[in-house]
Structure 1
């Protein structure tokens, strides 16, 4: 897709195109160029088209007003009026111009001497070239970010991550401590292909949005993508969108696109300088298909990264943050807000994590299953309250004497006196591991 402002920049000199109104909509993208003379054919538009008309039917009263209303209903991108034989500029009502301006819908005037076929052929060629380039770019980015496991016999490649941890002192940032990334051969190929295409990306985050366990139907993907792109274009951002089976990924460059980036129109509180996925969430949710409740949409964002090779790590972080948002029934979580859970969320060896949790809690779980007891729950509350019998009783809705009996039984089974700081840490850490393993393996709603 091409932004109208980019098309207009060239077309106003080459084809004599003139903008009558709708400056605020120039950041919109158009998906195709469509010549339309019959208002009845507007129903075939899918949204995002740049429409051209000579006004052949304009002899009918109010035709132009009805034509504009139909284009707005079908979410067309803009309208070019071919002025001369059937339409004169004086035929365009002031009220129509005002309505187009209010809808941020660009109206262009084009002289009769311009050949419509030239405009259509030129614009369509640009669209096809741009669409092919964007599709290949998104394919490579999606492949690089993909968490798919290695195929049998596929070699792994270690590359330098190049990200600098923000909390490290300068003396720590040497070659021995700089992060490394393990990529599959497929991911490394995608990374090399992007480098060959001179693809450059500044500081970025990756956000993942899930839709209540429902996939976005193919018929709904294009309208959703178009709405999100319009919002992001208004802010002058660089971004990439790609769908996964049950989610949508947004790769967002945090730096502004440039000094000439268009100012936001309907989102005055946002600007390219302060935008984040969390700040965009209210506007993004407004574009969710009607069949999906906004309450079922959850999002999560990775930490900021600078190296493209860190995109797989960003994907794991975004997925973990999104999962945490689902668990907490909150719209959005950032990976940096997960605290110590970040270590568990990105640890590749789930078997090892399960083993660590079982070493500490297995004996209590087995006892609870055999005796229908609640030792595991009681110990967690006891540790979280700093060893207070009274607070544990209140937290578990249990009598203090019952809690005291359970703690004695726990000490007997585990061999821990629950006084040593190391023992307490190991047990609390085991609970965190168990919580994460349960959350990350739970079927999505």
Structure 2
């Protein structure tokens, strides 16, 4: 797991004479370190590396600019470069790096790169072990909530306290799936770690499972709306607030319900469980086999008629109820004359064999429509 570059820089002892020249570390994250002495080797990097460079192959300022440009193009997190005597980066290079938000550091000619790289490796490996333990604890909190001993100690050692507020978020973006993984999921996870300090995330079944600790529901909704709400290829479900660690599994269940409905019942790619309305009840029913029977009893004859006669009466009925059973508004929505609509509504009543405006029947029809919107997985 990556570590913030500013944390690594802060860990360097002053005796090593490493100096930051750009305005900041630009919130870069570092996953590993590499020595890269020539431009042609940069293409082998994976991104988020901190590169060490002796400077021996630097023949001119133009060459150095091309070198830095390639590092940035391959998503490298920063550069530490050695200089002899009083030499250092030119103002032009520093300005260029500030412009592209690429952090650069100078080191003295005698700076022991191996010592610094070993220090960074220890920090990175320790952080990776911490993340691994937290992910395992998170999974235990989801699947074995009654066994607090399997997750609480790991949580509390890392600032995730027993009585903090926890929210689980589940998201996916299968449009971007590739054999090598999902770059968009990785990008979202990296961005998330900049935005939220107390967060645990792991990928499972091509979905990102996220635990945010110590944040309000409004804050989580706001940040995820900003992060992925505008990308219609990203689907995200936000769970309820769990007031203690042993209730994380409930937030996870609710997040999954909301996530599932983004793909079926509610045409939005970002949903909070609190927004689901009647779907909370429908999605929480454990005996899902009752759904087909209920739908069949309520609107089955109309669906059968549509299939056999190639009509769209079920759609008309749904639009009619969406418009609060207003003939005027329904006719406007369907772009048809109100007399034509009246004829079709009368036909629907005759096919169904009951008064669709009777209160009990209206409720049953709406519930049947909501069930159908949940998707064919129930049938």
TMscore range, shorter length: 0.7 to 0.9
Are 2:69 and 1:131 aligned?
no
- For each residue in 1:91-120, what CA deviation from the matched residue of structure 2 results, as whole angstroms up to 9, or x when unmatched? 421111111222222222333444222111
Q: Distance in 2 between matches of 1:70 and 1:408?
A: 69
Q: 1:46 Cα shift? A: 1.0
Identify the residue that residue 20 of structure 1 maps to in structure 2. Answer: 21
Alignment counterpart, residue 106 of structure 2, candidates 105, 109, 115 = 109
Aligned to 1:205: 167
Q: Give yes or no for the alignment of 1:239 onto 2:199.
A: yes
| Residue in structure 2 matching 1:281, options 228, 235, 256 | 228
Q: Separation in 2 of the partners of 1:430 and 1:274?
A: 30
The residue aligned with 1:252 is: 212
Per-residue deviation, 1:376: 4.6
**Alignment counterpart, residue 281 of structure 2, candidates 321, 333, 343:** 343
Matches within 5 A, 1:15-414: 15-25=16-26, 27-59=27-59, 62-83=62-83, 87-142=84-139, 144-145=141-142, 185=144, 188=146, 192-199=149-156, 200=160, 202-212=164-174, 215-221=177-183, 225=186, 227-235=187-195, 237-253=197-213, 255=215, 275-281=222-228, 294-327=231-264, 330-366=268-304, 376-377=314-315, 379-381=317-319, 383-384=321-322, 397=336, 399-400=340-341, 402-403=343-344, 405-406=346-347, 408-410=349-351, 413=353
Equivalent in the alignment of 1:150: none
| SS across alignment from 1:206 | strand
CA contact (8 A) 2:302 2:348 kept: no
Q: Is the 8 A contact 1:21 1:101 kept in 2?
A: yes
Cα distance change of structure 1 residues 407 and 217 upon mapping to structure 2, 3 Å threshold: closer
CA distance in 1, matches of 2:190, 2:319: 49
Alpha carbons 2:140, 2:150 under 8 Å: kept:
no
The unaligned stretches of length 5 or more in structure 1 are 146-183, 257-271, 286-293
Post-superposition offset of 1:348: 3.1
Structure number with higher helix proportion: 2
Match of 1:168 in 2: none
Q: 1:277 to 1:395 in 2, by over 3 A?
A: closer
Q: Is the 8 A contact 1:57 1:63 kept in 2?
A: no
Shift of 1:44: 1.8
- In the superposition, relative to structure 1, how do residues 400 and 274 fare at CA in structure 2: closer, same or farther (>3 Å)? closer
Q: 8 Å contact 2:5–2:25 — kept in the other structure?
A: no
User: Cα distance, 1:24 vs. partner?
Assistant: 4.5
Render the CA deviation track for 1:123-152: whole Å, top value 9, x for unaligned.
11221221122123224424654xxxxxxx
The Cα shift of 1:214 comes to 5.8
1:9 alignment partner in structure 2: 10
- Deviation, 1:224, is 5.1
SS in 2 for 1:318: helix
Aligned counterpart, 1:265: none
- The equivalent of 1:267 in structure 2 is none
Q: Note the alpha carbon deviations across 1:314-336, whole angstroms, 9 max, x for none.
A: 33433343344345554433332
Equivalents in 2 of 1:371, 1:72: separation in Å?
Answer: 62
Q: CA deviation at 1:194?
A: 1.8
Equivalences, count? 367
